[in-house]
Amino acid sequence: MDTAVEWLGECKINNPLKHVDWVENSDRVLYNVSAVAFQECIQKGQTPVSFSKAGPKRKIYFDLNKLKCAIVTCGGLCPGLNNVIRSIVLTLYYTYGVTNILGIRYGLQGFVPDYGHPIMELTPDLVREINELGGTILSSSRGHQEMGDIVDALQRMNIGLLFAVGGDGTFRAAAKICKEIANRGSRIGVVGIPKTIDNDILFLSRSFGFSTAVSCASDIIGCAHVEANGAPNGIGLVKLMGRQSGFIAANAALDRRYANFVLIPEADFDLDGAHGFLAVLEKRIQEKKHAVIVVAEGAGQRYCGVEGFDNSGNKVLGDIGLYLKDRITDYFMEKGIEVNLKYIDPSYTIRSVKATSEDSLFCGFLAQNAVHVGLAGMTNIMVGSWNEAFVCVPLGLVTTGRKQVDLKGKLWSSVLDATGQPNFKAPGD
C-alpha cells in the first residue's frame, strides 16, 4: 500500500506561526496499531504501513502575501459543511494572514463559465455565524465536468490552493484535477476534506456529519418505537441513509436499542421462506404485538434494484423502504393479520440539519489541518482522522473502494445482540 504524499516542491519559507508543536515530515501514524501486527512486520523485515501526520510544518511552500485560495463543496448535503468552510476561512485569515479566499458556487459547475455561477468572496465577517446553519453557503452539485475547464478556471483566477470538500466522487474528480495540473506543469495544490454522511470513506476513522446523523436517526427510531407501541400490532419502519454501508443504521439502532430488526447493505437477507425476514417479523408481532425495523437505503437491492447510474457515477438505488412497506402490508393481509404500519423516511431532514457540538469541533480540526498541510505544499491528498490522529492520505488510495460494516466485527455483533435478530437465511445458505 503506497501512502507516499505528493509535494508541489521544496518548502523554503519559514512558517509564521508561534508557540506551536511542529509536525515534522518524518512524523507518521501507524495504519495498524496492533502490537501483534507490528511485530509480524518487523519479523518479516517489512516496514509497517503508516500515514504522514497532518499539522503545522516549520517550512511552508506558498508566499502567504501572494496566495489566493478557493473552497468548493460537492455532492449531497451533510451536517458540518458550513463549519468546515468557516474554519478554513478563519484559519487562513487569522492564523496565516491569507486574505484572498474565494468560494466556488454549486460544486464543480462553478468553475465552468457556461453555467454562469458567480464567485463568492469569503471573509471572516461573511462566515462568522454560518456554523448555525445547515447545508452549505456555497451550495453544491453532482455530476462530471471537464477537467480542462476546471484547471483553466484555476489558472485564470490565479488560484494557488484548492480545498475540495466532498466524498468518493469528489475525490476521484480531485485526483483527475491534480493529474491535469501536473500535465500542464502548474503548481496548484489540491487538498480534499472528507464529507460523507454514510461514513464510508476508506482509511478514515469517521467523517464529519456522521455523528450528527446518528443522533438525529436515533431520535427518529425513538419516534417509530412510540408509534409501534401506540397501536395493535404496530410496526415502525424507518429508512436511513447508507448506500453501500450500514454505519448510520447500525449505530443509531444501538444508541437507544429500540430497533428489533436492522437491515444493511453488507448483510444479505431472504424475505420469504421459513427463515426469511417476513416469517421472523410475523413471529415477533404474534409474541410482542409491535416491532421497529431500521433499513439502510442500500439494503435489499436484489429485490427492488433498478438499472443505471446517477450524475455522480453512483448506481441508482431502488426504494427499499417503500418496497418493504408494501411487501409487509401484503404479507400480513394475506395472512389475515391486521397490522398498523408507520413508514418514516427522514433522509433529507437529517442531512440538512446543523452539526452537533461534537461534529462542529471535529470539522474545525479537519479544516485547520487541511490548511496546515496545504500551505506546506502537500497536494493530491485527503486530510482525515486515523487512530486518534489527523493524517494525510493520497487521493488515489482513498478512491480504491468503500468502507463497510464488518459482519464479524464488534459493531455488527453488538447490533445482533441488541436486536436478537437471526441472519434471515436458510441454514446452509
Report the catalytic residues: 198
All three cell numbers of 119, joined, read 464567485
Question: At 261, is the secondary structure helix, strand, or coil?
Answer: strand
Q: What is the DSSP letter of 91?
A: I
Instruction: Quickly count: other Cβ atoms within 10 Å of residue 87's Cβ.
Output: 25
Q: Show the CA angle centred on residue 389, arms to residues 388 and 395, nearest 5°.
A: 120
Instruction: Tell me the C-alpha distance between 127 and 142, whole Å.
Output: 24
Q: What's at 285, amino acid-wise?
A: I
Contact 62, 377 (CB under 8 A): yes
Contacts of 336 (CB under 8 A, 6+ apart): none
Instruction: Tell me the C-alpha distance between 407 and 389, whole Å.
Output: 26
Q: What is the DSSP letter of 132?
A: G
Instruction: Quickly count: other Cβ atoms within 10 Å of residue 112's Cβ.
Output: 16
All three cell numbers of 122, joined, read 469569503
All three cell numbers of 250, joined, read 447500525
Instruction: Tell me the C-alpha distance between 388 and 361, whole Å.
Output: 14
Q: Please, is 36 exposed, middle or buried when counting C-beta atoms within 10 Å of its C-beta (0-12, 13-18, 19+)?
A: exposed
Contact 382, 200 (CB under 8 A): no
Instruction: Tell me the C-alpha distance between 89 and 126, whole Å.
Output: 10
Picking from 423, 424, 427, 401, the residue whose alpha carbon sits closest to that of residue 413 is 423
Instruction: Tell me the C-alpha distance between 372 and 361, whole Å.
Output: 17
Q: Which helix (H) or strand (E) holds 256?
A: helix 247-256
